[in-house]
Amino acid sequence: MSPTAPTYGSATSLLRSVEDRAVSVRMRALALHARDHAGTPHLTGILRQLETAGHGRLAVHMAAAARDTDTLALHLAGPDPELRRAALRALRESSLPDEAVPPVLDDAPTGLRRALYRALYHARRTSLADSLLSRVRAEYGDAEAAALLPACSPERVAEDLLGLRHAVRSWRRLARRHPDALLDLLRKTHSRGGWTFERFTGLRRVLQALDPVRPAGLATLLGELGEKRRDLALLAPRTHRLLHRDGDQRHYSTRYPAGPGGTRDIRGLLRYARHTPAQVLPVLRAMPLPVRTAHLDRIARRGDGRGALLLLPYLDLLPRDRAEAEARRALAETTAFQSRSTRYGDPDQDLDAIAHLPYGEAAGPLEEAASAGDPARRARGLARLVEATARTGDPDLLARVLAERAERSRAERDPVRRSLLCALSRVAPALLARASLPALHRVLADTLGSRDTSADTRRALRDLAAALLRHPLTRQDAEAVDWALEAYAGLVARFGARGLGERGRPRSRPPWWSAPGRRAARIDLDPALDQVLPRGLERELYRRLAPALDDARARGDLGPAVALARELGRRVHGVPELREHLAAALGHDASATGSTDTTDPSGIGGAVVPTGTGSTTGPSSLRYTGVPTTAEAAATAREAARLYLTGPGARADARALFDADPSTARVPRVWSLLVRHAEPSALRTAFDAGGQGPAPDAGAWVPDLDRRTVRDWPETLRARAADHLAGIAADPSQAIDDRERALRGLGALPGAADRLAPYLDGPDTVLREAALSALGRCDELERALGLVLAHAHGPRSRAAGPAMSRCATGVAPSRLGPALCRVLDGPAKVTVRKTAARLLEHHRPPGGIEHLARVLDTGDGPHRDVRAAVAGALMRALDHPAALPVLTRGAPGFTPVEIQFAVLRVSPLTCPPSRRKGAALVVASLPEPSRDHWRFPGWTSRWAPWTDHDPDALAEAVCDMDRDGERAVRAFEQLLLDGRGTDRISGMLARLLRAVPGPGHGVPARGPRREAEDSAHRRVKRLVGLLQSRMSKDGERDPVLEEQADAVLGMLGIRREYAPEALLLVQRRLATECDAPDGAPRARRLVDLLLAGAHLLARGPVGRWELDRLLTPLQPSYGASEVEPRTREEVVRRLFAAASATRGAPGETAALLGLRLVERAGAETGWAGPWPQLLSRAGDLGHERVRDAAWRMVV
């Protein structure tokens, strides 16, 4: 005990001494007093008096501060769940014995149990968690045992994780504490080559959780298992970066940025390079010149002769001489294309190529284009002229061109000026600053003085100013900095807050997956001022903007000042004058300005008048005189509070604002600081002034009350807050939304049940439902649950369900179970009874699952929807011994589709492994539903691996047209995934093909849709698709699978109508051969497959698309082929030999395949090697069409 620590005769005197202090100060004073008197009889007496007087939470707070483990142990075993939860802080103290913790679980509500698991995890009491795990699993099920598992020791986790894997919901917490156990789980669960997608989905969350913790270990494990999934970059990006650190044939190095799709796949990069160059430029720019050039060469390799056009956006990344040569090629291609087609294509694309020619050659055409009559060509020519001039590196030449063009563009429309500004923002800032600043002043004045300046043009102007401020050379140049500051000042003076950019724009490049529709995220960012402005210049910028900000403030428009503060970020604290504007915005009376909605149809609010009417800043002859609407002023005040009340002085600033004007408590940010750091007297003042807003139509003030803070208020202050909210709720003249929020706020105050109960029988539906919802958040949850259940009839039942769920988390199981059982049995609404069934399964009170079993055993007594909810709850509670037997008995009677939906929607992966076989029997014994549902076949087939299906019986079911084909095919699909039944595919297809009459028998009459969906033809297509899918997922060659594929291909090949399916199978076989892990593909086998495809193609018209589709595995459209050139050469020679020996359409198609392969391979290699000779050989094969096509390729 400290010798200077004050003592108090009783707990009452102690509380009276801190009564008029803020919550944070009062709780700190009580903690210091307890710490000063730790271990003394005085503190023991104070704590007992607090407990007796009903201040048990304060007693727990002081005992925790004094580390009085004896007192905390008493509260851990006490009857009050709230105090037991507060006493869990004692787990952090090593002096608390393990024996004091198990009583917490005695009749503990679900919320308290979950809090205990979290406390054990954070306190690292592993031995205590180990001792509780068996009890928790036995009493409350596998789900709660899995929640406790992260707090256990590594040995216990390794022992129990495999049996609890189905119930784990927080894999990230497990990975942070036990990564080695998860790696072992992956190693035990999956053998090499067994990572098919269906098996992979169950553990993708494990990969996502392990990735940030153990990327190296995960990479090693995936290498051991032979797992190289393409979506690994999305599930485990860190592991993906480690696996591909140095790149390989399919991925570039992770030292460079990821592509638009979030991966580093080379083919994907090349594909995006052709369609979205802006997304690929940052990736290529980050690469060294040799690597970058190699990728650009692959981009340029195309068989349609337009490779040079694809390089146009990337010519700046190539050496100067190479860029010039490619530009000449692109210009020739563009000129030829434009001469053939004037309607399609880009008529101004030639300017992109001309800009990369030597300046003396390019200047004339570009100057002519910059003065053309067409505005689009004029804008593009102007931009390309600036870029070409900048490439010379001559500042005087650039200054002369800019001065001339700036003078000519004074009368231009906005798109042309925007094109010029965008081009200037891409010029090296140091080059611009050396001699071009006078021309930039001219451009700035014209842009700000124009009435049609758009948001994109303002953005381009900000980009140019940001480039000058960010560059290390120009940020030291006083004239360049002066121009940039003048640009920002002019934008604010001319356009107000809109001149500084869009509110809420990202400060950094968002990840690829955050974009809408998972499209590539926007690359070009609009940086904020604090990201570009050098340190110390914020005061100079404010000095220039001060007149415009003062004018706007005089009009009642504080938006520009708030926007400037938002752009400056934390640096606003260095500009006290700007903070004064923010303080004024907080208490600004929007309605007193007489504002109206001045937003015109174009979305530009406010007027623009000549400068002569008042002072302004900037070179513009116009200034912004907009007046904000009421909604805009309210939004400005909220944002001003967020910006003003930041930093270490936020509490003092909020108190100063409140002392000056108590109505500022209405601002949420001000109130959030006052509610914890202001004295009770100040808060009473806020409630007294709450009815008087800053404007007559401001409405009622409904403060946000946090239950955790309000419970530490003095009793008198809590009563005052309750009176304030109750008065709003009872006032019929208030808006219904305010009354509803007031009732919800009452739920955060102690004793709220008495104030809310009268509204449960009121006439207003909104208030009744609000009162029900608030009861779920009050402090007396057991009483609240009784009130909710007593008033859960009629239309109020829709709000009773959520309220019941919230109340159930805080009610002891011994009282929760009987209450829910009575609801389930009683005459309550069906919605309420369904909620009771789900809550019994979730909270597991004693006897709850047994009662659900008894309800299901009553047969057709309960309502259909209630039976469905009970059946679904029992399916989720299969870890309980009473669940599976009753489901097995009742499954044959589950005819209603609602019951089957509830049963089948439970995934087998969420069931205990030991019960999956029994649950699969339940699913198998379900009768035909009362009506079909499109999900049932897929949900039923999920249980096939745990069903003792006979492959022959299942094959018979697929071929039996009197049985449900979709369900049988789905079950057979799961059988294939389980590694069984592959050898039955060809026999099944033979039987089904015999049941399909060909077109030669005539076209039958069209039947109903259901009959068409379950026809023999449909089953044939499904089986072929399953075979193709199985071939694409097998990591290693399967002789049985290849034998089946050859047999199926032979059967389909003799049926002309199934040529499309046979072609897909041939293409899949070709891909399998080309991706064979045992070395280079065999040319003889490739030729056999291509000849089979040629015979199939010969039955119909053969075009380039059909040929490319078949050749894609051997010679892809994007990028280089992975098949050796010698193998491809041998394939072509064998194809030509077969074509010369075969007459008719099959021989001609084989020759066309070989010719198309020659064309692609020759374009890839620049027609080096054997490809020109093979092209000439194609003309001697004896097929006229092949000879004509080869001739056209040459000439």
Is 50 exceeded by the pLDDT of residue 594? no
Over residues 75-84, the pLDDT tens digits come to: 999 999 999 9
Beta bridge partner(s), residue 622: 610
Say how many CA atoms lie within 13 Å of 431 toward its Cβ.
Answer: 20
pLDDT of residue 737: 92
Average pLDDT over residues 352-368: 93
Average pLDDT over residues 414-423: 93
pLDDT of residue 1045: 85
pLDDT of residue 855: 93
Q: How confident is the model at residue 153 (pLDDT cuts 50, 70, 90)?
A: very high
Q: How confident is the model at residue 625 (pLDDT cuts 50, 70, 90)?
A: low
Lowest mean pLDDT: which of 110-119, 591-600, 1070-1079, 1118-1127? 591-600
What's the CA gap between 771 and 211, in Å, rounded?
Answer: 45
| Residue 549, both tokens | 């900000």
In which element (H, E) is residue 622 found?
strand 622-624
pLDDT of residue 876: 95
pLDDT of residue 379: 92
pLDDT of residue 616: 39
Q: How confident is the model at residue 619 (pLDDT cuts 50, 70, 90)?
A: very low
Over residues 929-943, the pLDDT tens digits come to: 888 788 888 888 888
Over residues 696-729, the pLDDT tens digits come to: 556 789 999 988 888 889 889 999 999 999 999 9
Percentage of residues of the chain with pLDDT beyond 70: 88
Is 50 exceeded by the pLDDT of residue 316? yes
Over residues 505-523, the pLDDT tens digits come to: 877 766 555 544 444 444 5
Task: Spell out the SS3 assignment of 104-123.
Answer: HHCCCCHHHHHHHHHHHHHH
Across 147-161, 580-594, 633-647, the highest mean pLDDT is recorded for: 147-161
Is 60 exceeded by the pLDDT of residue 588? no
Q: Tell me the pLDDT of the chain averaged across its residues.
A: 84
What's the CA gap between 203 and 187, in Å, rounded?
Answer: 12
Average pLDDT over residues 153-167: 93
Average pLDDT over residues 209-231: 78
Higher-confidence residue of 795 and 122: namely 122
Percentage of residues of the chain with pLDDT beyond 90: 44
pLDDT of residue 608: 42
Cα 318 to Cα 254, 287, 323: the distances in Å are 22, 12, 6
What's the CA gap between 30 and 69, in Å, rounded?
Answer: 17
Lowest mean pLDDT: which of 271-285, 330-344, 965-979? 330-344
Q: How confident is the model at residue 123 (pLDDT cuts 50, 70, 90)?
A: very high
Is 316 in contact with 390 (CB distance < 8 Å)? no
| DSSP result, 263-298 | S-BHHHHHHHHHH-HHHHHHHHHTS-HHHHHHHHHH
Q: How confident is the model at residue 353 (pLDDT cuts 50, 70, 90)?
A: very high
Across 17-31, 132-146, 613-627, 1140-1154, the highest mean pLDDT is recorded for: 132-146
| Residue 678, both tokens | 């202001």
Lowest mean pLDDT: which of 230-244, 616-630, 648-662, 1122-1136? 616-630
Average pLDDT over residues 538-548: 93
Closest CA to 859 of 820, 891, 885: 891
| Residue 961, both tokens | 């047209």
CA gyration radius for the chain?
A: 38
pLDDT of residue 278: 85
Collapsing DSSP to helix, strand or coil, 493 comes out as: helix
Q: How confident is the model at residue 172 (pLDDT cuts 50, 70, 90)?
A: very high
Over residues 550-576, the pLDDT tens digits come to: 998 988 889 999 999 999 999 999 999
| C-beta neighbour count of 1064 within 10 angstroms | 17
Average pLDDT over residues 353-358: 93
Lowest mean pLDDT: which of 481-485, 835-839, 957-961? 957-961
Is 108 in contact with 82 (CB distance < 8 Å)? no
pLDDT of residue 230: 55
Q: How confident is the model at residue 861 (pLDDT cuts 50, 70, 90)?
A: confident
pLDDT of residue 1007: 64
pTM: 0.81
pLDDT of residue 702: 92
Lowest mean pLDDT: which of 328-337, 425-434, 474-483? 328-337
Q: How confident is the model at residue 479 (pLDDT cuts 50, 70, 90)?
A: very high
Distance between first and last Cα of the chain? 103
pLDDT of residue 191: 52
What's the CA gap between 766 and 581, in Å, rounded?
Answer: 40
Is 11 in contact with 55 (CB distance < 8 Å)? yes
Q: How confident is the model at residue 599 (pLDDT cuts 50, 70, 90)?
A: very low
Closest CA to 376 of 406, 410, 414, 332: 414
Is 609 in contact with 623 (CB distance < 8 Å)? yes
pLDDT of residue 482: 95
Is 70 exceeded by the pLDDT of residue 603? no
pLDDT of residue 515: 46
Is 429 in contact with 471 (CB distance < 8 Å)? yes
Beta bridge partner(s), residue 605: 599
Lowest mean pLDDT: which of 155-164, 879-888, 1088-1097? 1088-1097
Q: How confident is the model at residue 1035 (pLDDT cuts 50, 70, 90)?
A: very low
Is 60 exceeded by the pLDDT of residue 690? yes
Average pLDDT over residues 800-829: 92
Average pLDDT over residues 176-191: 86
Is 50 exceeded by the pLDDT of residue 611? no
Over residues 1006-1034, the pLDDT tens digits come to: 766 555 567 888 888 888 888 887 776 55
pLDDT of residue 88: 92
Is 60 exceeded by the pLDDT of residue 695? no
What's the CA gap between 1068 and 935, in Å, rounded?
Answer: 29
- Exposure of 393 by Cβ count < 10 A (0-12 exposed, 13-18 middle, 19+ buried)? exposed
